[in-house]
Amino acid sequence: MNRRLLATLAFVFLLALAGCTTILGNDVGDPASLSADAQYDYDTERDASITINRENYTAVYNVSAKVTGDNETIELWRTNALTLETPLEISALQFRYPNGTVVRYVDGEPVAIHEDGTEETTDALAVNTTRQRTIVHLPAEEGQLAFTAPKTGKELIIRPAVHGSYEIALPPDRDAQIPLLSRVRPPNDDRVVVDGRVHLRWEQLDSPAIAVQWYLDRDLWLFGGLAAVAGLVGVLGVIYYYRKIQRAAKRRDEEGIDVDYEDDRKGPPPGMR
């Protein structure tokens, strides 16, 4: 009986870790979260444009270059500490048609907002989740999908949902150039600074994941200061021990401890004298 109970608890635990949204946490397709307000920059030539903020990141994807899903869907996911696939928690979901019409959630319902400002309800944009992935049902095969997702710490790992070119904007006053303080995998093809923010670019991404770890600009000064102090301590240590060795050698000379065998070495070997 105890074994059955333990087996059941283990099964429930694995389901929770695998991202079953009905067991732990909120549903990643929660209408209230999808209705959250956000501003996205759709004016990009990249297939994926990602902006990292303090507590989250925003993504704008060209759905015609999507990696997974059929003609009408795109799948979004991440991996947990056990490297299991789990649904990506998204909010502020929007879809922009090539003609400029934007479909977004308002009060839990998708609404199409045309460029002239008129609005109409629609069922073209929908979200559902499985134990492993968030599935977004797209209004069209051409257009841009935008959403917001959470992040923690100074690192972001993204499972690419589209092929092609990528651009990631780091938070203000952050960088990812020093190997000991940062990590970029795969290595970026280009790095530019736009409006005070570092942008990392990949012309053609061919990797199952992007991992970016960054540092504050002030961390670089702190690291440089610590390195300078450590170097100074090392130099002083070498000088100290060198002088100590020199004093010990001088003391041996003064006390006649050293014996010079040079004259003996010049004579014939033992037994030949």
Q: How far apart are CA 42 and CA 145, in angstroms?
A: 9
Domain count, the chain: 2
Q: Distance between CA 85 and CA 245 in Å, rounded?
A: 62
Residues 95 and 165 both lie in one domain: yes
For residue 218, what are its two tokens? 């002030």
Tell whether 167 and 253 lie within a shared domain.
Answer: no
Which domain covers residue 256, as residue numbers?
220-266
pLDDT by residue, tens only, the chain of 273 residues:
456 655 555 554 554 444 443 333 345 568 899 999 999 999 999 999 999 998 999 999 999 999 987 889 999 999 987 889 999 999 999 999 999 999 999 999 999 999 999 999 999 999 999 999 999 999 999 999 999 999 999 999 999 999 999 999 999 999 999 988 999 999 999 999 999 999 999 999 989 999 999 999 765 665 555 555 555 566 656 776 666 777 766 677 666 665 554 555 555 655 555
CATH of residue 184: 2.60.40
Are residues 244 and 187 both part of a single domain? Answer: no
Q: How would you class 234 by CB atoms within 10 Å of its CB: exposed for 0-12, middle for 13-18, buried for 19 or more?
A: exposed
Look at residue 131 and tell me if it is in a domain. yes
User: Of 193, 213, 233, which residue sits at a domain end?
Assistant: 213
Q: Are residues 75 and 198 in the same domain?
A: yes
Q: How high is the pLDDT of residue 40?
A: 97
Which of 55, 92, 58, 93 has its CA nearest to residue 74? 93
- The reply to whether 120 and 47 lie within a common domain is yes
Q: What pLDDT is stored for residue 251 in this prediction? A: 72
If asked whether residues 129 and 96 sit together in one domain, one would say yes
**216 by DSSP, 3-state: which?**
strand
Q: Which pLDDT score is estimated for 30?
A: 82
Residue with tokens 């929007």: 94
CA-nearest of 121, 123, 116 to 137 is 123
Does residue 21 lie in a domain region?
A: no
Whether 9 maps to a domain, the answer reads no
Please indicate, yes or no, if residue 100 is contained in any of the structural domains: yes
pTM for the whole thing?
A: 0.72
